[in-house]
Amino acid sequence: MGINLKLITASGVVFLTAAASVGLLSATSPANSPARNGKQTTAGQFPKGDPAQRVPAFHAAPPKEELGPTLDPVQFKDPIVQNSYAMAAKVKNVLYQQPCYCSCDLNDGHHSLYDCFATLHASICNTCMAEGIFAYEQTHKGWSAAKIRAAIIRGDWRNVDLTAHKEPVTVH
């Protein structure tokens, strides 16, 4: 059974909902998006795998204009937070094209993972930091933003061990 794709954009933002029972992806807006089939998550908690889970907001294409900066890592005391913000700064165009699974699109009006690092939000959210580090690492392996997005949607970012990023890193 193939997957039908219906894509609707509003201001360049894509909202997708996966419906596993019918093998269909359909578009919604943040105002009427169902909240993870009733499963709420909070900052720092990884959502459980669920193939029918709503895919959070992301941009389907690179930004048309230069993005603003992410927050300066030196303002944070925690080395994991510093490292995640340093990595995010190097791949912000990739982050712009990624969903964030902490529900910040619904709770904070974010349009992609980039918004988490352009604000203080990622500094208090393990989900954002894990996804940001995952995106950085895969970018440096030569993965495209679309391939990274597919892996994030699949949940591969959950395998990131944040404690492995306690030591200062040199970011390229």
What is the per-residue pLDDT across 79-89, written as a single tens digit (0 to 9) for each?
999 999 999 99
How does the average pLDDT of the chain come out, rounded?
Answer: 77
- Average confidence (pLDDT) over 110-124: 96
DSSP bridge partners of 17: 26, 54
Q: Are 105 and 111 in contact (CB under 8 A)?
A: yes
Mean pLDDT of 21-34: 31
Q: 130 and 81 in contact (C-beta within 8 Å)?
A: no
Cα dist from 5 to 16, 27, 106, 137, whole Å: 9, 9, 22, 29
pLDDT for 19 beyond 80: no
* pLDDT beyond 70 at 51: no
Instruction: Indicate the pTM of the whole model.
Output: 0.70
User: What pLDDT score does 170 carry?
Assistant: 73
pLDDT at 33 over 90: no
d(CA 131, CA 15): 18
Confidence check: pLDDT of 12 > 60? no
Give the C-alpha separation, 18 to 61, whole Å: 20
Q: Considering the chain, what percentage of its residues have pLDDT values greater than 90?
A: 61
Tell me which DSSP letter residue 108 carries: S
pLDDT for the residue numbered 4: 35
Q: How confident is the model at residue 60 (pLDDT cuts 50, 70, 90)?
A: very high
Evaluate if residue 65 carries a pLDDT over 90: yes
Q: How confident is the model at residue 50 (pLDDT cuts 50, 70, 90)?
A: low
The neighbouring-strand residues paired with 58 are: 14
Q: What pLDDT shows up at residue 45?
A: 38
Residue 44 has pLDDT above 50, yes or no: no
User: Which pLDDT belongs to residue 93?
Assistant: 97
Round to whole Å and give the CA distance between 85 and 117: 6
Burial call 37-66: b when 16+ CB within 10 Å, e when fewer: eeeebebeebbeeeeebbbbbbbeeeeeee
Whether the CB-CB separation of 85 and 71 falls below 8 Å is answered with yes
Q: Residue 29: its pLDDT value, please?
A: 32
Please tell me whether residue 137 adopts helix, strand or coil conformation: helix
